[in-house]
C-alpha cells in the first residue's frame, strides 16, 4: 500500500458513519467459560468476521505463505530492520531531551523566564503520550512501513516552524505536532512481534528499550555543543537532520513486516503471475477498520491503566522512575558546575549515564538465557513474575547510585569529579532495568493485550516526565536551600520507596493477577499459565534451583 492510499483510507475511516461500522464489526458473544464483562480480544472478533466475509473466497493464510512473512527473514535481515527501528526510536527520545539546550537562547530572544521556556518540553512529551496511542492501531491495519513514514515525515516537518519561529507560540505549536506525530516506539515493538515469536523476541525488545532510554542521554551529550557553538535554532535543525536520516534509512532499506499486509501483496502477486484465485485477509473486508474498532483500540490502554492493578502499578512505577531520572539529570548542571563544567564540557557528565544503560542492556543476556533454560526444563512453572528475577538484583542500584551521587557532590575540595559520575552509571543501569522489566513483565502477563498495557506505561512515563519538567524548572533554588547532598539524598529516599512494588510483583504477582479481568481471560483461553499457589514466583524457585 502506498502512502496516498493509506492516507485515503485514514480519511475514509474518520469520516465514516456509525452505521457503516456495523457492517464490519460483528457482535461476538462471550465464550461460555469466559469471565463476565471480560473484553473479547480483537483476534476473536476478526475470526468471526472472517468466517462471514470470506465464505465465498479463498483467503491466503500465514501457513500458505510462510516463506514470505517477516518471521522467515534471515536473522541478519531481521537485525538490519531492527537497527532502522532503533534509530527511529532513538530520534524520538533525542528530540525530547535535546530541547533544553535551546531554552537559554529562546529566553533571551523571546524575553521570557525559565519556566516558560520549558513549556515546549512538556508540550512535546504530552503530545507524544497521546500520539503513540493514536498511531499504534493504524500500524496494525495499514502496515508498519507506511505509518512510520507518515509519522516521521509529519514530525520532521514540524521542526521547521520551530527552527524558523518568529515567536515562542510558534515553537509551542511546532513542538505539539512534532510530539503527536511520533509513532516510532510503539511501532518498533510491533515490528519485533512481527519478526520473532514470543519466546524468541527478548533480545530484540531489550535492544529497542536501549534506544528508548538511550536517546534521553544522547540528547544532553550532543546538546551542549549545539548550545555553545550555534544558536538555539540549531537545536531544531539537528532534530530535523537526525529524523531525516532515520526516515531515509527506513524508506530505502526496510520492507514491510506486518503479516496481513504481506499476505495482501502475495495474494495480488499470485493472482497476477500464477492465476490463482486467492485473496489477502484485508482484501475481502468491506471496511478495513471501523470507527468503533478504532475507539476500542485507542481507549483500551487508558481502561487498563485505570482498572488493571498490575498495569496501574507498573505504569506509575515506570512513570515516577522516568520523572525521578529526569530530575536527577537536571541536577547535573548545578552539581558539576562546582568542578568548572560549563557547556560544552557538561556533555561529558551524561556519558556515565549512557554507559549505565549499555551495561544494563548487555547484562540482560543473563536473564534471557536463564529464561530459555527454564522454558526447556520446566515450562509449566514459568510465570510472568519469573521475568522480574534479574530486575530484583539491578533495581537497588537506583537508591545506591543516588545516595552515592549525593554524598560525592560536595565539589573539588572534598571529592574528585569522577566520583559522582561513577554513581551515575549505577543509576543508569537501574533506570534501564525498570523500563525493560516492566515491558517484559506486561508482555508475559497480558499476551494479546500487551501492546495496550505497554501503551499505558508509555503514557504514564511521558505524562509524569512532562509534569516533572515544569516542577523542576526552579531546581537550582531547591538545591541551594537544601544543599546539593541533601537534595540528591531526597531523590534517593524516593527511589528507595519506588522500587518496593517491583518486589511485591515478584512474590505476590499471581495474587494480583487473580483480580485482573484481562489476565484471567487469557488463563481461561489457555494462553497463559494459571498461576496457582504452587506456580507463583515462590513456588517456581524449587524448579529454578536446578537451573544454572
Tell me if the pTM is above 0.75: yes
Structure confidence at residue 536 (pLDDT): 38
The whole-number pLDDT of residue 189 equals: 84
Is the pLDDT score of 155 beyond 90? Answer: yes
pLDDT of residue 288: 64
Q: DSSP of 150-207, one letter per residue?
A: HHHHHHHHTHHHHHT-SSHHHHHHHHHHHHHT--HHHHHHHHHHHHS-TTT-HHHHHH
> Does residue 307 carry a pLDDT above 50?
yes
Q: Is 286 in contact with 421 (CB distance < 8 Å)?
A: no
Q: Is 450 exposed, middle or buried (0-12, 13-18, 19+ CB in 10 A)?
A: buried
What integer best gives the mean pLDDT of the chain? Answer: 80
* Res 474 pLDDT > 50: yes
Which cell is 160 given? Answer: 521547521
pLDDT tens-digit readout, 398-422: 999 999 999 998 888 888 999 999 9
Among candidates 98, 118, 280, 86, which has minimal Cα distance to 184? 86
For residue 52, being part of any structural domain is answered with: no
Which pLDDT value is given to residue 465? Answer: 85
More confident residue, 169 or 59: 169
442 and 516 belong to one structural domain: yes
Kindly state whether residue 285 falls inside one of the protein's structural domains. no
Report d(CA 144, CA 377) in Å as an integer: 36
Looking at the DSSP assignment, which residues form a beta bridge with residue 279? 59
Cell numbers 521475568: residue: 387
Q: What cell numbers appear for 108 in the block?
A: 533571551
Last residue of a domain, one of 223, 239, 257: 257
Cell of 99: 530541547
Q: What is the mean pLDDT of residues 108-126?
A: 89
Model pLDDT for residues 164-178, shown as the tens digit of each residue: 999 999 999 999 999
- DSSP state letter for 415: S
Residue written as cell 496501574?
312
Residue 283 inside a domain? The answer is: no
**pLDDT for res 524:** 58
Residue 161 domain-assigned (yes or no): yes
Q: Under DSSP, is residue 231 helix (H, G, I), strand (E, B) or coil?
A: coil
State residue 64's pLDDT score: 83
**For position 1, what pLDDT does the model report?**
53
Query: Where does 15-102 have alpha helices with state H?
Result: 18-21, 42-53, 75-98
Q: Which residue has the higher pLDDT, 313 or 223?
A: 223
Q: Are 245 and 312 found together in one domain?
A: no
d(CA 138, CA 149): 12
Indicate if the pLDDT at residue 480 is higher than 70: yes
User: Is residue 544 situated within a structural domain?
Assistant: yes
Most confident of 306-310, 398-402, 482-486: 398-402
Sign of the C-alpha dihedral, residues 396, 399, 402, 408? negative
**Total number of domains constituting the chain:** 2
The answer as to whether 289 is a domain residue is no
Distance CA 40, CA 469 (A): 39
pLDDT of residue 287: 66
Of 206, 224, 257, which marks where a domain is finished? 257
Q: Do 363 and 460 share a domain, yes or no?
A: yes
pLDDT in tens, 28-46: 344 434 443 444 444 444 5
337 shares its domain with 480: yes
For residue 410, what pLDDT is reported? 84
Grid cell digits, residue 519: 489476565
- Does one domain contain both 85 and 200? yes
C-alpha cell at 320: 515516577
Asked whether residue 194 falls in the same domain as residue 306, the answer is no
For residues 539 and 4, which has the higher predicted lDDT (pLDDT)? 4
Mean pLDDT score, 260-288: 85
Tens-place pLDDT, residues 363-374: 999 999 998 898
Q: Judge contact between 283 and 264, C-beta under 8 A.
A: yes
pLDDT recorded at residue 163:
96
308 and 234 within one domain: no
Distance, CA of 463 to CA of 538 (rounded, Å): 34
- Does residue 16 surpass a pLDDT of 50? no
What is the predicted pLDDT for the residue at 133?
A: 73
Answer with the residue of higher pLDDT: 472 or 376: 376
Q: What is the CATH number of the domain that holds 405?
A: 1.20.1250.20
| Predicted local distance difference test score (pLDDT) of residue 245 | 95
Which H or E run includes 436? helix 418-446
- Separation of alpha carbons 359 and 317, rounded Å: 22
Q: Is the pLDDT of residue 26 over 70?
A: no
The answer to whether residue 267 sits within a structural domain is no
> Residue 137's domain spans which residues?
65-257
**Shared-domain flag, residues 229 and 332:** no
If you average pLDDT over residues 235-262, what whole number do you get? 93
Residues 243, 347 share a domain: no
Pair 411, 464 in one domain: yes
Residue 334 has pLDDT above 50, yes or no: yes
Contact 288, 9 (CB under 8 A): yes
**How sure is the predictor about 508, in pLDDT bands with cuts at 50, 70 and 90?**
confident
Based on the fold, state whether residues 177 and 318 are members of the same structural domain: no
Q: Which residues contact 158 (CB under 8 A, 6 or more apart)?
A: 174, 175, 177, 178, 181
Q: What is the pLDDT of residue 308?
A: 80
Region 126-134: mean pLDDT is 82
Residue 101 resides in a domain: yes
pLDDT above 90 covers a percentage of the chain that reads: 34
Last residue of a domain, one of 257, 275, 308: 257
**Shared-domain flag, residues 106 and 250:** yes
Amino acid at each position: 500500500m502506498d502512502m496516498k492510499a493509506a492516507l485515503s483510507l485514514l480519511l475514509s475511516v474518520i469520516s465514516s458513519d456509525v452505521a457503516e461500522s456495523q457492517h464490519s464489526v460483528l457482535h461476538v458473544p462471550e465464550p461460555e467459560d469466559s469471565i463476565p464483562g471480560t473484553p473479547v480480544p480483537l483476534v476473536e472478533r476478526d475470526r468471526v468476521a472472517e468466517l462471514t466475509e470470506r465464505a465465498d473466497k479463498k483467503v491466503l493464510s500465514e501457513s500458505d505463505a510462510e516463506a514470505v512473512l517477516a518471521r522467515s527473514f534471515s536473522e541478519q535481515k531481521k537485525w538490519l530492520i531492527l537497527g532502522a527501528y532503533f534509530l527511529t526510536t532513538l530520534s524520538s527520545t533525542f528530540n525530547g531531551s535535546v530541547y533544553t539546550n535551546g531554552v537559554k537562547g529562546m529566553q533571551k530572544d523571546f524575553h521570557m523566564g525559565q519556566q516558560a521556556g520549558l513549556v515546549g518540553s512538556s508540550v512535546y512529551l504530552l503530545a507524544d503520550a497521546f500520539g503513540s496511542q493514536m498511531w499504534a492501531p493504524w500500524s496494525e491495519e495499514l502496515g508498519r512501513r507506511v505509518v512510520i513514514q507518515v509519522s516521521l515525515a509529519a514530525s520532521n516537518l514540524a521542526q521547521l516552524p520551530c527552527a524558523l519561529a518568529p515567536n515562542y507560540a510558534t515553537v509551542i505549536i511546532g513542538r505539539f505536532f512534532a510530539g503527536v506525530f511520533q509513532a516510532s516506539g510503539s511501532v518498533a515493538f510491533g515490528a519485533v512481534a512481527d519478526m520473532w515469536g514470543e519466546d524468541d523476541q527478548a533480545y530484540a525488545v531489550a535492544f529497542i528499550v536501549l534506544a528508548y532510554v538511550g536517546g534521553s542521554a544522547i540528547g544532553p551529550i550532543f546538546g551542549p555543543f549545539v548550545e555553545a557553538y550555534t544558536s538555539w535554532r540549531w537545536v531544531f535543525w539537528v532534530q530535523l537532520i537526525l529524523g531525516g536520516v532515520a526516515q531515509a534509512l527506513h524508506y530505502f532499506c526496510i520492507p514491510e513486516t506486518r503479516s496481513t499486509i504481506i499476505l495482501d501483496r502475495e495474494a495480488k502477486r499470485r493472482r497476477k503471475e500464477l492465476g490463482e484465485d486467492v485473496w489477502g485477509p484485508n482484501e475481502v473486508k468491506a471496511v478495513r477498520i471501523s470507527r468503533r474498532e478504532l475507539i476500542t483500540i485507542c481507549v483500551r490502554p487508558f481502561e487498563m491503566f485505570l482498572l488493571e492493578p498490575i498495569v496501574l502499578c507498573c505504569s506509575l512505577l515506570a512513570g515516577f522512575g522516568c520523572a525521578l531520572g529526569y530530575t536527577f539529570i537536571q541536577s547535573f548542571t548545578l552539581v558539576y558546575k562546582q568542578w568548572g563544567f560549563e557547556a560544552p564540557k557538561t556533555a561529558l557528565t551524561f556519558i556515565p549515564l549512557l554507559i549505565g544503560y549499555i551495561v544494563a542492556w548487555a547484562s540482560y543476556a543473563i536473564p534471557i538465557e536463564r529464561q530459555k533454560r527454564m522454558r526447556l526444563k520446566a515450562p509449566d512453572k514459568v510465570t510472568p513474575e519469573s521475568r522480574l528475577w534479574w530486575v530484583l538484583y539491578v533495581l537497588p542500584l537506583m537508591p545506591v547510585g543516588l545516595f552515592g551521587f549525593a554524598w560525592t557532590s560536595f565539589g573539588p575540595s572534598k571529592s574528585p569529579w569522577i566520583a559522582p559520575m561513577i554513581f551515575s552509571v549505577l543509576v543508569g543501569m537501574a533506570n534501564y532495568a525498570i523500563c525493560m522489566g516492566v515491558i517484559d513483565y506486561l508482555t508475559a502477563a497480558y499476551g494479546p493485550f500487551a501492546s495496550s498495557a505497554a501503551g499505558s506505561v508509555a503514557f504514564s512515563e511521558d505524562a509524569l516526565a512532562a509534569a516533572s519538567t515544569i516542577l523542576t524548572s526552579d531546581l537550582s533554588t531547591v538545591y541551594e536551600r537544601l544543599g546539593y547532598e541533601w537534595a540528591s539524598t531526597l531523590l534517593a529516599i524516593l527511589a528507595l520507596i519506588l522500587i518496593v512494588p517491583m518486589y511485591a510483583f515478584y512474590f505476590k504477582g499471581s495474587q494480583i493477577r487473580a483480580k485482573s479481568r484481562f489476565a484471567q481471560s487469557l488463563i481461561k483461553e489457555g494462553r497463559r499459565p494459571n498461576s496457582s499457589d504452587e506456580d507463583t514466583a515462590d513456588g517456581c524457585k524449587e524448579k529454578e534451583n536446578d537451573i544454572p
